[in-house]
A and B are shown apart, each in its own frame.
Chain A
Amino acid sequence: MIKLLHVEDDADIREIAEMALSLSGEFDVVQCETGEAALAYVENYTPDIVLLDMMMPGMTGRQTLEKMREKPEFANVPAIFMTARAQHAEIDELLQIGAADVISKPFDPISLGDQIKAAMQKAGMTIAA
Chain B
Amino acid sequence: MLSVKLKSDTAITAALGCGLAAGWYGAASGLLSGAAGNIVPAAGAIAIAGFLPAILAARNSGQNAKNKPRPGESMLKQLQALDQHAGINIVDSDSLLTEVNDHLLKLTGYSREELIGQHVRVLYDDEARSVTDLIRGNLQRGLTWQGETQLRRKDGRTLVTQATVIPLFDADGTWTGSISARTDVTETSALLAERHSAQTLNELRDDIWIVDAQTEEFSYLNGPAKKRLLMANEEYLGKSSTDFSLAHEIEAVLKACRALREKGEVTTQFESVLVDTPMYISIKFLPGPRGAGRYLIVSTDISHRLEQEQRKSAFISTVSHELRSPLTSIKGAMGLLLSGSAGELPDKASALLEIAHRNADRLILIINDILDLDKISNGQMDFEIRDVDLVELLHEADRANAMLQQRFGVDVKITGADEPVLLKTDPNRFIQVLTNLMSNAYKFSPPNGCIILDIKDVGEHVCISVKDEGQGIPLSEQGKIFDRFADMTNSDRAAKGGTGLGLSICKAIVENLGGTIGFDTQEGVGTTFYFNLPKSEPSSNAIDEIDVKRIA
**Which residues of A come within 8 Å of B, CB atoms?**
10, 12-13, 16-17, 19-20, 23, 55, 84-85, 87-89, 92, 105-110
Given contacts A85-B321, A109-B336, contact A19 B329 (CB under 8 A): no
Cα distance, A19 to B336, chains bound together (Å): 8
Interface residue? B85 (CB, 8 A) = no
Q: Say whether A13 contacts B328, CB under 8 Å.
A: yes
Q: Say whether B382 contacts A13, CB under 8 Å.
A: no
Q: Say whether A16 contacts B336, CB under 8 Å.
A: yes
Cβ–Cβ < 8 Å partners of A17 in chain B:
332
Cβ–Cβ < 8 Å partners of A16 in chain B:
328-329, 332-333, 336
Cβ–Cβ < 8 Å partners of B320 in chain A:
84-85
**Which residues of B come within 8 Å of A, CB atoms?**
317, 320-321, 324-333, 335-336, 339, 341, 360, 364, 382, 384, 428
Cβ–Cβ < 8 Å partners of A87 in chain B:
382
Cβ–Cβ < 8 Å partners of A107 in chain B:
328, 332
Q: Say whether B332 contacts A84, CB under 8 Å.
A: no
Cβ–Cβ < 8 Å partners of B324 in chain A:
84, 105-106
Cα distance, A53 to B486, chains bound together (Å): 37
Cα distance, A10 to B327, chains bound together (Å): 12
Shortest A56–chain B CB gap in Å is 11
Cβ–Cβ < 8 Å partners of A23 in chain B:
339, 341
**Residue on A nearest B429 in the bound complex, by CB:** A88
Q: Say whether A20 contacts B329, CB under 8 Å.
A: no
Q: Say whether A10 contacts B382, CB under 8 Å.
A: no
Cα distance, A19 to B328, chains bound together (Å): 14
Given contacts A88-B382, A106-B327, A106-B364, contact A55 B321 (CB under 8 A): yes
Q: Say whether A105 contacts B328, CB under 8 Å.
A: yes
Given contacts A55-B321, A106-B364, contact A92 B384 (CB under 8 A): yes
Q: Say whether A85 contacts B317, CB under 8 Å.
A: yes
Q: Determine which residue in A13, A106, A109 has the highest number of CB atoms from chain B within 10 A of its CB, and name it.
A: A106
Q: Return the contact of A88 from the options B329, B331, B335, B428 (Cβ within 8 A).
A: B428
**Residue on A nearest B327 in the bound complex, by CB:** A106
Q: Say whether A13 contacts B332, CB under 8 Å.
A: yes
Q: Say whether B321 contacts A10, CB under 8 Å.
A: no
Cβ–Cβ < 8 Å partners of B382 in chain A:
87-89
Shortest A57–chain B CB gap in Å is 12
Cα distance, A30 to B195, chains bound together (Å): 79
- In the A-B complex, list the 4 residue pairs whose CB atoms are closest, starting with the nearest: A16-B332, A12-B329, A84-B324, A106-B328
Shortest A13–chain B CB gap in Å is 5
Cβ–Cβ < 8 Å partners of A110 in chain B:
335-336, 339
Cα distance, A23 to B338, chains bound together (Å): 13
18 A-B pairs in the complex with CB atoms less than 8 angstroms apart: A12-B329, A13-B325, A13-B332, A16-B329, A16-B332, A16-B336, A20-B336, A23-B341, A85-B320, A89-B382, A89-B384, A92-B384, A105-B328, A106-B327, A106-B328, A109-B332, A109-B335, A110-B336
